Amino acid sequence: QKRRHVENSVANVKKTNKGKMDQNRMAPCLQLPLDNKLLENVIEKAKDWALMHGACMRSRTNLNKDVLQFAPFVLLPSTFPRREFKKAVEIQPILNELVHKVAHDYEFLSSSLKSTNTVDHFTRRLFEIYETVRKDGITQPTSLGLLRSDYLLNCDSGTIKQVEINTVASSFGGISTHLGHYHRYVLQELGRMDMIQNLPENHALQGLCQGMLEAWKLYNNEKAVIMFVVEDVTYNICDQRFHEFELRSQNPNVPVIRRNLTQISERAKLGSKKELILDDMEVGVIYFRAGYEPGHYHSENEWNARLLMERSRAIKCPSIYYHLAGTKKVQQALAKPGVLEKFLSPDKTSVVKEIFTGLYSLDKDEFGDRAVQMAIENPGHFVLKPQREGGGNNVYGDKVRTAVEAMKDSEERSAWILMERISPPMQLNYLVRPGDPNNGCPPLSDVVGELGIFGVVIGDSEKILVNKQVGHMLRTKLSTADEGGVAAGLGALDSPYLC
Ligand code: ADP
Ligand code: MG
Ligand code: MG
């Protein structure tokens, strides 16, 4: 009898393990692997499709600006639960409202960022710009927010959890809008027209650009231009140009210019009514695709340019306070008990709470000490994050312990936050990369996806004029990789297959 009991327990353990495996894994949209001949054939077409439709980036190794290569992508659309996709879409206007209100709450921003500002030079400089324009009086009360809220599915609950919300340079709306069509094409080539109905429509690019043009209209000067603030070298050029071309096609009367911070510092000035004048043009809307990391500011000149723009009448995407509202420290402050309630109705609060996961301050106080202890005891359960954007800045795994131990006794702690690590389910797919020796026939890989939902919000401290969800993006990485930024070279473009 004892033996039977043991056998039963083993069977039970096996069952639960199997159950867990099922939970940690989602079925791909098609039976895999594909037949080798078919795979080779469809990958060749897929690569050409990507090249011909601008799912491309500049190469980091071939510095010839005339050369593009396709961005890494997955052959098949990744399955994503329809219910959770719908939830992410529906929650976006609430998140837009939240970010907008947080951005306009000086007390909240300054108290949330106070400790971080003492040790994080970059965030402090951004905050100083905010203080300066506040003291002068804000010239342009209207802000344009082009936001992207990012999610991972959480294995345990099967529900989405927010990774972060981006308020500056939210990218890939352009390429992702085209990529939905790519997966339509691939399914068609695989003879699976019947599956196409499960690919959601995506109008992110149109929606984001419509937002920029609405802001331009509010600026109310027919001659004004839209200026993209860009890096010295733009690797993600197709995504940016898609925005530019879409703007030009929606309204050919609005000129679009691109300048880096150095050029702006050399050539921009304020007019008598604080118009931003650059090369004899008046800038109505400033769209930042750079300026979110210290490396974009080579000297005081670039900082002066940022301040000048902030002082101007131009409508900024983002304004400095929208930028600050998107910091990880503010995200963590919003997750403290009782805080969301200050900004949102009880109904909206409970919806937003559901997508939050554990976020902890590392400040030198009782709560911070507790978080330090948790991180040291269980480093694999957390991600350690500084106040940076653009990927590649976080700390994972055992390094969380080493890093937290190293900063335990210093104020440096306040520059970081600790976030519960979300473990998303994996699924099989083919990762297609430029120059990959296996490119003819890449192996099947275990991958995980991160969904991004785009939102547009326009308004000032008194009112919200525009508040919309406009589209989505999905990017996918090897399940063994910590991060999956496509621009950073770690992730692959994807689109959701709703199931
Ligand atoms: P960034 O602003 O640099 O994009 P993120 O907070 O989005 O910073 O982190 C970068 C990447 O790290 C994410 O895209 C995701 O792949 C991974 N990541 C971040 N937070 C978590 C988390 N809590 N759990 C699991 N992975 C995470
Ligand atoms: Mg970010
Ligand atoms: Mg991110």
Distance 497 CA to ligand 1 centre (A): 22
Distance between CA 208 and CA 473 in Å, rounded? 13
- The DSSP call for residue 283 is E
Ligand 1 touching residue 479 (CB < 6 A)? no
- Please name which ligand lies nearest the alpha carbon of 450: 1
Q: What are phi and psi of 42, to 5 degrees?
A: -75, -30
Average pLDDT over residues 325-338: 98
Domain contains 18: no
Q: pLDDT class for 496, splitting at 50, 70, 90?
A: very high
To test the pocket of ligand 1, the residue of 167, 394, 486, 494 to mutate (highest count of ligand atoms within 8 Å of its CB) is 394
Domain contains 385: no
Q: Give me the pLDDT at residue 7, please.
A: 37
Q: pLDDT class for 17, splitting at 50, 70, 90?
A: very low
Which is it for strands 78-80 and 496-498: parallel, antiparallel or unpaired?
Answer: parallel
Distance between CA 198 and CA 29 in Å, rounded? 10
Q: Give me the pLDDT at residue 485, please.
A: 79
Q: Which atom of ligand 1 is nearest to the CA of 483?
A: 16
Distance between CA 472 and CA 453 in Å, rounded? 4
pLDDT tens digit sequence for 85-133: 999 999 999 999 999 999 999 999 999 999 999 999 999 999 999 999 9
Residue 148 falls in the annotated catalytic set? yes
CA distances from 178 to 54, 59, 91, 112, 134 (A): 8, 20, 24, 38, 40
Domain contains 389: no
Distance between CA 195 and CA 192 in Å, rounded? 6
pLDDT tens digit sequence for 153-176: 999 999 999 999 999 999 999 999
Domain contains 387: no
Q: pLDDT class for 64, splitting at 50, 70, 90?
A: confident
pLDDT tens digit sequence for 431-441: 999 987 775 78
Residue 464 confidence (pLDDT) above 80: yes
Task: Say if CB 122 and CB 294 are below 8 A apart.
Answer: yes
Distance 463 CA to ligand 2 centre (A): 26
Give SS3 for 288.
strand
Ligand 1 touching residue 483 (CB < 6 A)? yes
Domain count, the chain: 1
Could you tell me the residue range of the domain that residue 269 belongs to?
A: 36-357+422-498
Residue 171 falls in the annotated catalytic set? yes
Q: What are phi and psi of 204, to 5 degrees?
A: -55, -50
Dihedral sign computed on CA atoms, order 468, 471, 475, 476: positive
Domain contains 19: no
Q: Flag whether the pTM goes above 0.90.
A: yes
| 145-172 burial: b if 16+ Cβ within 10 Å, else e | bbbbbbbbbbbeeeebbbbbbbbbbbbb
What's the alpha-carbon Rg for the chain, to the nearest Å? 23
Ligand 1 touching residue 309 (CB < 6 A)? no
ipTM over 0.85: yes
Task: Say if CB 481 and CB 449 are below 8 A apart.
Answer: no
Q: Give me the pLDDT at residue 10, please.
A: 33
Domain contains 404: no
Residue 11 confidence (pLDDT) above 70: no
Q: pLDDT class for 14, splitting at 50, 70, 90?
A: very low
pLDDT tens digit sequence for 408-425: 999 999 999 999 999 999
Nearest 5°: the CA angle 4, 5, 8 is 85
To test the pocket of ligand 1, the residue of 152, 359, 360 to mutate (highest count of ligand atoms within 8 Å of its CB) is 152
Domain contains 7: no
Domain contains 408: no
At 483, list the tokens: 């991060």
Distance between CA 151 and CA 165 in Å, rounded? 9
Q: Give me the pLDDT at residue 441, please.
A: 84
Phi-psi region of 279 (alpha: psi -120 to 50; beta: other; left: phi over 0): left
